[in-house]
Amino acid sequence: MVLKIGVIGTGAIGQDHIRRITNKLSGGKIVAVTDVNKEQAKAIVETQNLDAKIYDDGHELIKADDVEAIVVTSWGPTHEEFVLAAIEVGKPVFCEKPLAITAEGCKKIVEAEIATGKSLVQVGYMRRYDTGYRALKNVIESGKIGEPLIVHCAHRNPTVPDTYTGDMAIVDTFIHEIDVLRWLLNDDYVSVQIVAPRKTSNALEHLQDPLIVLLETKQGIRINAEIFVNCQYGYDIQCQVVGETGIANLPEPSSVVLRSEAKLSTEILVDWKDRFIDSYDTELQDWINSTLKGEVNGPTAWDGYVAAVTSDACLEAKESGNIVPISLEERPEFYNKNLIVVEKI
């Protein structure tokens, strides 16, 4: 059985997903695409030799009879309307982050999905599919280090472009930690504070860099996270969990250990795509497999909503310097199931 997929948005990430579904993954076929730049949509269809129809807009694509599932990789502010449209016609949808650009928008999606009685939405938080993070989660859940007490983590980029603004440190960069740490610890956040250390001379004038984010969870775990997007030396993701009886570190990416010129060294990656490309493949393959079986695994619409609420609190804390509460409703029972069965394709 093959899942017939329509893709809304053929920018960089949309093109990447089309290529991986077409050339690397199994069980899925691109049958429809659309983009505001129709020539760009046409180009990806031609270069990938796709047997796919090009639609004038996302709503036409969603309603098409031969499209069974939707991938949303369009401009962020359009995600909400396309996800809601997919829910309305009962089609599974994979939406790249953000689920919506506001917490209110995410909440609308949550409410619409619950109203159908079927789980249809998965959000593209791919770090949950990283083998290193999964290994770290297995260690935590095994009890080998006792109960987690403290988490130290860092998100470092070599540089960022001139278009990178201060809020992007939260909504584009730290948003990954917001999701993956909550998943890793199986815990929700209750407060956040952001402090600004001495600014690096390598940051643009308009940008405070680095930042330190201090989070507290419901279970009392304290998280200190460094965001440093002009670190110069490479793309470096760190995570250390301090438990009652031991410490567990996120594994480093595989690299040759070099002994040369009186030095012992390993390489550090410089591109985020190289660090997480396998995670994207695993994520999309899991979505295809789950959708074909009538199951939903992976990050849900509720996870997208929680990330948005947390992100808003982080932005407030960044502006004020105060400890800001993170107020969440109780997770709906709809999302408490480990596996939610929907109608099979």
Distance separating alpha carbons of residues 255 and 274, to the nearest angstrom = 12
The two three-digit tokens of residue 151, written as one number: 């988490």
Q: Are residues 123 and 136 in the same domain?
A: no
Q: Are residues 53 and 151 in the same domain?
A: no
Question: What pLDDT digit, counting tens, does each position of 88-128 carry?
Answer: 999 999 999 999 999 999 999 999 999 999 999 999 999 99
Question: What pLDDT digit, counting tens, does each position of 305-333 carry?
Answer: 999 999 999 999 999 999 999 999 899 99
Specify whether the backbone of 226 is left (phi greater than 0), alpha (psi in -120 to 50) or beta: beta
Question: What pLDDT digit, counting tens, does each position of 13-39 carry?
Answer: 999 999 999 999 999 999 999 999 999
Q: Full-prediction pTM beyond 0.85?
A: yes
Question: What pLDDT digit, counting tens, does each position of 184-236 carry?
Answer: 999 999 999 999 999 999 999 999 999 999 999 999 999 999 999 999 999 99
Sign of CA dihedral 180, 184, 188, 190: negative
pLDDT at position 341? 39
Q: Are residues 241 and 288 in the same domain?
A: no
Average of per-residue pLDDT across 262-283: 94
Domain boundary among 216, 242, 269: 269
- 321: in domain: no
Average of per-residue pLDDT across 134-151: 98
Nearest CA-CA partner of 248 in 136, 154, 142: 136
pLDDT at 269 over 50: yes
pLDDT at position 245? 98
The two three-digit tokens of residue 268, written as one number: 């550090």
Q: Are residues 59 and 75 in the same domain?
A: yes
Q: Are residues 157 and 257 in the same domain?
A: yes
Distance separating alpha carbons of residues 118 and 103, to the nearest angstrom = 21
Considering all CA atoms of the chain, what is the largest pairwise distance in Å, rounded to the nearest integer?
A: 65
By the 8 A CB rule, do 74 and 14 touch? yes
Residue 260 sits in a domain of what CATH number? 3.30.360.10
- 316: in domain: no
- 326: in domain: no
Q: Are residues 264 and 137 in the same domain?
A: yes
Distance separating alpha carbons of residues 337 and 332, to the nearest angstrom = 10
Mean predicted lDDT score pLDDT of the chain: 95
Residue 338 sits in a domain of what CATH number? 3.40.50.720
What range does the domain containing 256 cover? 131-269
Sorted by sequence, the CB contacts under 8 Å of residue 5 that are 6+ apart come out as 21, 28, 29, 30, 31, 32, 67, 68, 69, 70, 71, 288
Q: Are residues 123 and 137 in the same domain?
A: no
By the 8 A CB rule, do 25 and 288 touch? yes
CA dihedral 295, 173, 190, 152 (to 10 degrees): 100
Q: Binning pLDDT at 50, 70 and 90, where does residue 338 land? A: very low
Q: Are residues 142 and 257 in the same domain?
A: yes
Sign of CA dihedral 66, 72, 73, 78: positive
CB neighbourhood size of 52 (10 A): 23
Distance separating alpha carbons of residues 14 and 299, to the nearest angstrom = 19
Kindly list the distances between the CA atom of residue 274 and the CA atoms of 11, 40, 125, 132, 254, in Å, as whole numbers in the listed order: 19, 25, 16, 14, 11
Q: Are residues 65 and 194 in the same domain?
A: no
pLDDT at 295 over 90: no
Number of domains in the chain: 2
pLDDT at position 296? 85
pLDDT at position 336? 86
pLDDT at position 345? 53
Q: Are residues 256 and 138 in the same domain?
A: yes
Average of per-residue pLDDT across 36-47: 96
Domain boundary among 218, 251, 269: 269
Q: Are residues 28 and 121 in the same domain?
A: yes
pLDDT at position 339? 40
